[in-house]
Amino acid sequence: MTDTATEQATASASGNAATEQFRSKQRAGAPAADTERVNTLVSELLGATHDIIRRHKVTYAEYDALKSWLIQVGEDGEWPLFLDVWVEHVVEEVANEDREGSKGTIEGPYYVPDAPELPAEATLPMREDEGGTPLLFQGQVRTVDGTPLAGATIEMWHADDDGFYSQYAPNLPEWNLRGTVVADPQGNFKIHTVQPAPYQIPTDGSCGRLISAAGWHAWRPAHLHLKVSAPGHHLITTQLYFNGGEHVSDDIASAVKPELILEPTPVAAGDGREVTYDFVLDKA
């Protein structure tokens, strides 16, 4: 065995990789400082914190425990994980409340832009012996009024059969289970992949310590991540889940919506499953 083959998946390795990815990405760029807005939001956040301290008579020992935990979150690089698991779902809810078309949900910490471009029918990059039930994920991208969107792109990324994401866990090929599929002139796509496993928040980092200290579970249901886009339309960031899968009804990240649950059926020939799911994009 080589050294890399024995490398362990640790909270700080995945956390710091997610922190680096976030720094290089910075979504739409930082908004210009709006003094009034900052004053309002930060004052209310602090006020809510002060209320909690008074209401629960928080002690110095607890205050120090919080301080040391917050310091450690940064050292573990787990701010993206913490925020995306416990806060992002409300930001997403507010951001998309007026958008028509298919439902979206949170992006999470493990998106990487510019995954290899693939044709309308494609197999995601995977290892020769990739584990997991084969899955054919197919559908069409359309506008709200039903017009097919030629050349829409479907970016897909997901964990493997052990719950690990390429570029955030050791020993996986760079683009494993990540791809940018370009739909055909009718907006159709057919993506061959494998079913991911549920995702467990790393137990050896700050988020894991919080979870066990609070007596919560550490799991997200198995999910596919997607970004679907077409010129002149709002990009949709979403996730899809599997009916009956573990933790579909108690996702630690609160990101499941009824519209996002797939019901794959066994394929006629072979041992895989298939499912059709169409995306409807709202005009920008």
Q: Which residues bind Fe ion (CB under 5 A)?
A: 108
Contact 198, 220 (CB under 8 A): yes
Give the residue with the Cβ less far from ligand MBD, 231 or 258: 258
3-state secondary structure 69-123: HHHHHHHCCCHHHHHHHHCHHHHHHHHCCCCCCCCCCCCCCCCCCCCCEECCEEE
| Total of residues contacting ligand MBD (CB under 6 A) | 11
Shorter beta-carbon distance to ligand MBD: residue 189 or 199? 199
Indicate the residue whose CB is closest to ligand MBD: 108
Looking only at the bridges linking them, the beta strands covering 117-118 and 178-182 are parallel
Binding mask 61-90 for ligand MBD (x = CB under 6 A): --------------------x--xx-----
Judged by DSSP in three states, 253 sits in: coil
Q: Which residues make Cβ contacts (< 8 Å) with residue 244, sequence separation at least 6?
A: none
Of residues 183 and 194, the one with the C-beta less far from ligand MBD: 194
* Span of 7-15, 34-42, 106-114, 269-277 interacting with ligand MBD by CB under 6 A: 106-114
Q: Which of residues 236-275 bind ligand MBD (CB under 6 A)?
A: 253, 255
Task: Please give the residue ranges that form the binding site for ligand MBD (CB under 6 A).
Answer: 81, 84-85, 106, 108-110, 199, 220, 253, 255
